[in-house]
Amino acid sequence: MDGNGRWAQSRGLPRSAGHRAGVKAVRATIEYCARRGVEALTLFAFSSENWQRPKEEVGLLMGLFLEALDREVDDLHKNDIRLRFVGDMTQLAGELCARMRAAETRTSQNKRLIVNIAVAYGGRWDIVQAAQSLAADCVAGKLDASSISEGNLAERLTLTGLPDPDLFIRTGGDQRISNFLLWNLAYTELCFIPELWPDFSAKELDAALAQFEQRERRFGLTSAQVAKS
């Protein structure tokens, strides 16, 4: 979800205004995905690298997370939407972690849509923590190192239990994945759009989904093999 700051600056507003506008786009996107029958949506809200931003901006973002949780969790629950948070929670304040866990618990049985919010998340961190978990089991004698497989590692990643994403969308015009879901995006279709995140709407999402429908997903096969499957 890129472009909040640039959106605000282009309007002569402080960056904080862009982040607040971005929260509205989050709500609209969740609502639209639920209507369209999307089963899982993962939003990259705050990366492990974002800690390097000015302290004032980081503080504002953490405050917005708290505000959004207090304001939105009731509606999410009423609409049968499950909320999950993924990332290095040891980096977050205790109050924020407690609110996040409470929201997860309250919505844990909801089935309509799973919304994963990546906070203090990095794809490299995700792979490292999975490897550390496997290594600990090896040291404890619970697992033989020679038996470690892609499946073993995938089970220790933060999005375990969910299929790999079908579609990745990045707003703001930059064409990179910026350390997001590095393992999970191995065969994901990538879509980069120029609109800044606060301007992202159902129109842009529909266009991205239409583009996705035109892609041929071969997963290493030939077109002829895909046609036969």
pLDDT in tens, 62-112: 888 888 888 999 999 999 999 999 999 999 889 889 999 999 999 999 999
Q: Which pTM does this prediction carry?
A: 0.93
Locate 212 and state its tokens: 């996705």
Catalytic annotation, pick one of 2, 4, 126, 184: 2
195-212 average pLDDT score: 96
User: Which CATH superfamily groups domain 4-228?
Assistant: Decaprenyl diphosphate synthase-like (3.40.1180.10)
Catalytic annotation, pick one of 4, 50, 88, 116: 50
The answer to whether 198 and 2 have CB atoms below 8 angstroms apart is no
2 is catalytic: yes
120-134 average pLDDT score: 97
Distance from the first to the final alpha carbon of the chain: 35
Phi and psi angles of residue 43, each rounded to the nearest 5 degrees, phi first:
-110, 125
- Name 115's bridge partners: 41, 83
21-33 average pLDDT score: 95
| Domain boundary assignment for the chain | 4-228
pLDDT over threshold 90, residue 206: yes
